[in-house]
């Protein structure tokens, strides 16, 4: 059986090594399951303390996707089969992995070619060098499956300008490479054809000095030679319009503006349609989570996301959303609530209540 994550140590001319990680589940668009998360966490932990490893290069097999998210189908099936502990085990380890990348003591390059969604967004967000290519598509479309932007999304989206993070959460809008660069979700654009060259140049670099400088020099060289390929940014074009809608004082007013939106722009129209057909409960939870976590530390964000994510699987719309989109594929989800006004405050409070009762948060020792 082929390993779903591959780990390689590549020698450099200065006598050091690169740690190269390849997500290798191409058929599932490199979606993360618990075993993949465990192996990523364990290997990164080992390499962080390995003096020979000077830099991490995280990539994926295939041309379609870096990572399309977490393996929510398996998660749903585990719960249906009676294993209600599965969501907690998966999300706790996934968030530990994401936090490890955010706080890693060595330079991390994430090569975000193709689709970057959900769990893939979480892997990329903490990397020092977040590379998008000519085929990158980034999104946080959790509202379509009854979840919300987790994997540290509460931290990242709250720091975007013009409340674009809230727009991303409510609409699942797709970002092209220029959008990702404009928002800072990526910080380098490099043509995908240069990937092997980048790795070879990293091997030829001198790592006897500052490792971040050595990484910067290589990545920046290829970024400078790719600048002419960037497409047109839809986020930049519609920034003012998005800000006007998202700055309304209530979620009802925001959704009302989206409903009333008249546009001939297919990108905006698709975003509007997702907002109006996605889970109303997820919309309320995403809005509330961003509000609650606005001043949280990164550690607090992951701790609070763990509460909400487990509850979304066990008590929310995720099981139905995954059924409709990924299992039966009828695209006819029967959401718990048809509109956001139907979501009672008691339900919101329940979703933010720790499922482990009075016990300590499993991520309290992050």
Amino acid 159: pLDDT: 96
Which residue among 119, 152, 165, 321 is the active-site one? 119
The per-residue pLDDT string of the chain (366 residues; one tens digit each, 9 = 90 and over) reads 789 999 999 999 999 999 999 999 999 999 999 999 999 999 999 999 999 999 999 999 999 999 999 999 999 999 999 999 999 999 999 999 999 999 999 999 999 999 999 999 999 999 999 999 999 999 999 999 999 999 999 999 999 998 999 999 999 999 999 999 999 999 999 999 999 999 999 999 999 999 999 999 999 999 999 866 788 899 999 999 999 999 999 999 999 999 999 999 999 999 999 999 999 999 999 999 999 999 999 999 999 999 999 999 999 999 999 999 999 999 999 999 999 999 999 999 999 999 999 999 999 999
Q: At what angle do helices 280-292 and 298-314 cross, to 10 degrees?
A: 160
How crowded is the C-beta side of 317, counted as CA atoms within 13 Å? 29
- Closest of 148, 164, 126, 155 to residue 318, by C-alpha: 148
CA dist 337 and 188 (Å) reads 41
Torsion sign (Cα): 279, 77, 100, 128 = negative
Amino acid 73: pLDDT: 94
CA dist 271 and 179 (Å) reads 14
Amino acid 310: pLDDT: 98
Which residue among 150, 179, 288, 305 is the active-site one? 150
For residue 326, is it left (φ>0), alpha (ψ between -120 and 50) or beta?
Answer: alpha
Amino acid 84: pLDDT: 95
Active site residue 119: yes
Amino acid 40: pLDDT: 98
**What is the DSSP secondary structure assignment for residue 327, as one 8-state letter?**
I
Active site residue 134: no
**What is the DSSP secondary structure assignment for residue 361, as one 8-state letter?**
P
Active site residue 142: yes
Q: ∠ CA(195), CA(200), CA(202), 5° rounding?
A: 95
Which residue among 71, 142, 305, 317 is the active-site one? 142
Domains and CATH numbers, the chain: 5-351 (3.90.226.10)
Amino acid 165: pLDDT: 97
Pairing outcome for strands 53-60 and 5-11: unpaired
Which residue among 69, 70, 126, 321 is the active-site one? 70
Calculate Rg over the CA atoms of the chain. Answer: 20
How crowded is the C-beta side of 207, counted as CA atoms within 13 Å? 21
Task: State pTM to two decimals.
Answer: 0.97
Active site residue 42: no
CA dist 124 and 261 (Å) reads 32
Are 11 and 203 spatial neighbours (Cβ–Cβ below 8 Å)? yes
């Amino acid at each position: 059986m082929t390993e779903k994550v591959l780990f390689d140590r590549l020698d450099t001319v200065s006598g050091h090594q690169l740690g190269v990680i390849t997500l290798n589940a191409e058929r599932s668009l490199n979606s993360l399951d618990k075993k993949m998360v465990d192996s990523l966490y364990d290997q990164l932990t080992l390499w962080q303390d390995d003096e020979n490893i000077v830099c991490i290069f995280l990539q994926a097999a295939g041309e379609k996707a870096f990572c399309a998210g977490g393996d929510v189908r398996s998660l749903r099936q585990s719960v249906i089969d009676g294993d209600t502990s599965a969501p907690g085990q998966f999300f706790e380890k996934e968030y530990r992995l994401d936090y490890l990348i955010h706080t890693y003591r060595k330079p991390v390059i994430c090569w975000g070619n193709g689709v970057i969604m959900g769990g893939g967004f979480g892997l990329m967000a903490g990397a020092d060098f977040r590379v998008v290519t000519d085929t990158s598509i980034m999104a946080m479309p959790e509202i379509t499956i009854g979840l919300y932007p987790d994997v540290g999304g509460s931290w990242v989206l709250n720091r975007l300008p013009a409340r674009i993070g809230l727009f991303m959460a409510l609409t699942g809008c797709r970002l092209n490479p220029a959008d990702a660069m404009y928002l800072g979700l990526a910080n380098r654009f490099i043509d995908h054809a240069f990937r092997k060259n980048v790795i070879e140049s990293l091997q030829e670099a001198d790592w006897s000095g500052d490792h971040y400088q050595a990484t910067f020099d290589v990545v920046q060289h290829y970024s400078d030679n790719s600048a002419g390929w960037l497409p047109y940014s839809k986020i930049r074009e519609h920034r003012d319009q998005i800000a006007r809608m998202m700055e309304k004082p209530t979620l009802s007013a925001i959704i009302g503006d989206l409903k009333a939106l008249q546009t001939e722009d297919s990108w905006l129209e698709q975003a509007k349609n997702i907002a109006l057909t996605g889970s109303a409960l997820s919309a309320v939870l995403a809005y509330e989570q961003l509000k609650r976590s606005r001043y949280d530390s990164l550690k607090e964000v992951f701790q609070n996301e763990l509460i909400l994510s487990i509850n979304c699987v066990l008590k929310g719309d995720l099981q139905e959303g995954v059924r409709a989109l990924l299992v039966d594929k009828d695209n006819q989800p029967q959401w718990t609530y048809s509109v956001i006004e139907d979501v009672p405050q008691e339900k919101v409070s329940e979703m933010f209540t720790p499922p482990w009762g009075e016990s300590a948060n499993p991520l309290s020792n992050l």
